[in-house]
Amino acid sequence: MSHSWPTRLAFSKSKARLAVAYDDGAEFEIDYPTLRLNSPSAEVQGHGAGPKPPAPIIPDDLTVLKADPVGRYAVRIYFSDGHSSGLYTWAWLRELGEQGVAAA
């Protein structure tokens, strides 16, 4: 797992994407539905070793209302469908980007 730090987080309402750039030169774009479906929250990922809950229904007009830093390691994203419990660590965002979910 990479220990690089983000140098830029840019939420684009018109493109419905989050652009993330890291200090090692890596850059990714992740669309809002993908971010929402991959929220690291227990609500989406499940509690403990039990089965993962069903995927949430994502509205077509999903957007990001705001985002707040959480210490130096994550960002909390507030979605228009009311979801805001996921803490997206820099490593989690990097992993989503490296998986090719929506590479820039």
What are the tens digits of pLDDT across the range 31-83?
999 999 888 875 666 566 777 767 778 899 999 999 999 999 999 999 999 99
pLDDT of residue 93: 95
Residue ranges per structural domain of the chain:
6-46+59-98
Can you give the pLDDT at residue 103?
41
Q: Is the pLDDT of residue 91 over 50?
A: yes
pLDDT at 54: 76
- What's the confidence (pLDDT) of residue 52? 74
Written as one string, the DSSP assignment of 24-83 is: TS-EEEEEHHHHHHT--SHHHH-STTSPPPPPPPPPTT--EEEEEEETTTEEEEEETTS-
CATH fold of the domain at 6-46+59-98: NE0471 N-terminal domain-like (3.30.2020)
